[in-house]
Chain A
Amino acid sequence: MAQRRELIKGSIDSLLLCLVVQQPMYGYQIIKELERRSQGYFKFKEGTLYPALHRLEEAGLIQGKWQTLPSGRQRRYYHITEKGLYGLEAKRSQWLDFLAAMNLIIQPASD
Chain B
Amino acid sequence: MTTALSHYLDSVRENLRLDRSLESEVIHELETHIEDELQELKDAGLSEEEATSTCLTLLGSAKLVARQIYETHSQGSWSQALFAAMPHLLFGLLFALNWWRGVGWLLGMLVLVLSMVVYGWWRGKPAWLFPWLGYSLLPVVAAGLLLLYLPQGWSWVAILLYIPMALLLVYAITIKTIKRDWLYGSLMLLPLPIIAGWFLAVEPVDKIPEYWLQRLQDFAPWIGLSFLALGVTVATFIRLRKRWLKVSVLVMSGLITLTMVAYYAEGRLSIPALLILIIVMLLLLLSPALVERTLRHTGQRPSA
Q: A-side interface residues toward B, CB under 8 Å?
A: 26-28, 45-48, 50-51, 54-55, 58, 73-76
Question: Are B60 and A48 closer than 8 Å at their CB atoms?
Answer: yes
Partner-binding segment picked from B24-32, B107-115, B192-200, B260-268: B24-32
Question: Are B65 and A51 closer than 8 Å at their CB atoms?
Answer: yes
From 51 to 90 in chain B, residues with beta carbon under 8 angstroms from any chain A beta carbon are 58-62, 64-65, 68-69, 71-73
Interface size class of B (residues with CB under 8 A): 20 to 34
Question: Are B68 and A48 closer than 8 Å at their CB atoms?
Answer: yes
Question: Are A51 and B29 closer than 8 Å at their CB atoms?
Answer: no
From 4 to 52 in chain B, residues with beta carbon under 8 angstroms from any chain A beta carbon are 25-26, 28-30, 32-33, 35-37
Query: Dominant SS at the A interface?
Result: helix
- Of A28, A45, A46, A51, the contact of B32 (CB 8 Å cutoff): A28
- Of A28, A50, A73, A75, the contact of B26 (CB 8 Å cutoff): A50
Q: B-side interface residues toward A, CB under 8 Å?
A: 25-26, 28-30, 32-33, 35-37, 58-62, 64-65, 68-69, 71-73
Q: Once the chains are docked, how many angstroms separate the CA of A51 from the CA of B59?
A: 12
Known: A27-B33, A28-B36, A28-B37. A47 touches B61 (CB 8 A): yes
Q: Once the chains are docked, how many angstroms separate the CA of A58 from the CA of B69?
A: 11
Q: Once the chains are docked, how many angstroms separate the CA of A62 from the CA of B5?
A: 28
24 A-B pairs (CB sep. < 8 Å): A26-B32, A45-B58, A45-B59, A45-B60, A45-B61, A45-B64, A46-B37, A46-B60, A47-B59, A47-B60, A47-B64, A48-B64, A50-B65, A50-B69, A51-B69, A51-B72, A54-B73, A55-B72, A58-B73, A73-B32, A74-B28, A75-B32, A76-B25, A76-B29
